[in-house]
Structure 1
Amino acid sequence: MHELSIATAIIERAGELARADGTDAVAAVTVRVGELSGVVPEALDFAFEVARAGTALADAKLVVESVPAHAWCEPCAEEFAVGMPPFFWCPGCDRPSTALRSGRELEITDIQPE
């Protein structure tokens, strides 16, 4: 389960950011997880629960914001949902798209101190 290594990295980075803001105690960490990131939000949540024990984030909550995958169609100048499994074919002009606008995110967006 690669979510455990991701959860560990989130905990380490969130701890660093919290210390840089002058606190050790963190109440919540918010992360954005793209639909095509390869991360299963439920598995990440479970891994976070396991990995946070004994750290400065031992009581922290993980808040996962899911980001849907969207592609851009240059000929139509339209953005469209890619879905899962991903389908990069424009529903407007029936052409393939190579420009992914969102859906691969995996980032910390907020840390709430206690």
Structure 2
Amino acid sequence: MSVHELAVTESVIAAISMQLPDSQVAVVHLEIGRLSGVMPDAVRFCFELAGEGTCVEGARLDITEPEGTGSCASCGTSFPARDALAVCPCGSADVTISGGAELTIKAVEVTDDV
């Protein structure tokens, strides 16, 4: 288990707990971009452990992993980026990463029984 992913997972759970203190969460939908540096499998592992005794205990964790995207300032092309130090297919390194680095709580589903 990574300490980084544990801290990220604890932050996600804390944010949900602050917003929904009296709810029982059924599903948490996270978006973890492939360029975020966060390992989704490690977050899944940490979620169950870190969620014990909180409103997310027993909740299902649904993670989507958007691909990285870059845009080139030299030629204007948008392209898939496989890492944060991407080079455009035209050869330029004047690239802005425009997707794939996000870590977002997209939605939280709660149950009716509390």
Normalised by the length of structure 1, the TM-score is 0.86
Task: Give the distance between the partners of 2:20 and 2:94, measured in 1 at CA.
Answer: 40
Task: Give the distance between the partners of 1:68 and 1:109, measured in 2 at CA.
Answer: 16
Query: Which residue number corresponds to residue 61 of structure 1?
Result: 60
Query: What is the CA RMSD across the aligned residues, in angstroms?
Result: 1.5
Query: Identity, % of aligned pairs?
Result: 29
Query: Which residue number corresponds to residue 45 of structure 1?
Result: 44
Asked whether the 8 Å contact 2:30–2:104 carries over to 1, the reply is: yes
| Alignment of 1:25 onto 2:50 | no
Q: What's the CA shift string for 1:58-98, capped at 9, x where partnerless?
A: 111111110111110123222111114x551111x221133
1:104 counterpart (101, 105, 112): 101
- Helix, strand or coil at the partner of 1:14: helix
Asked whether the 8 Å contact 1:71–1:97 carries over to 2, the reply is: no
Task: Give the distance between the partners of 1:47 and 1:29, measured in 2 at CA.
Answer: 14
Task: Give the distance between the partners of 2:38 and 2:107, measured in 1 at CA.
Answer: 19
Query: Which residue number corresponds to residue 16 of structure 2?
Result: 14
Q: How many residues align?
A: 109
| Structure 1 residue runs without a partner (length 5+) | none
Asked whether the 8 Å contact 1:33–1:39 carries over to 2, the reply is: yes
- Helix, strand or coil at the partner of 1:67: coil
Normalised by the length of structure 2, the TM-score is 0.86
Asked whether the 8 Å contact 1:18–1:111 carries over to 2, the reply is: no
Post-superposition offset of 1:12: 1.0
Task: Give the distance between the partners of 1:76 and 1:98, measured in 2 at CA.
Answer: 10
| Structure 2 residue runs without a partner (length 5+) | none
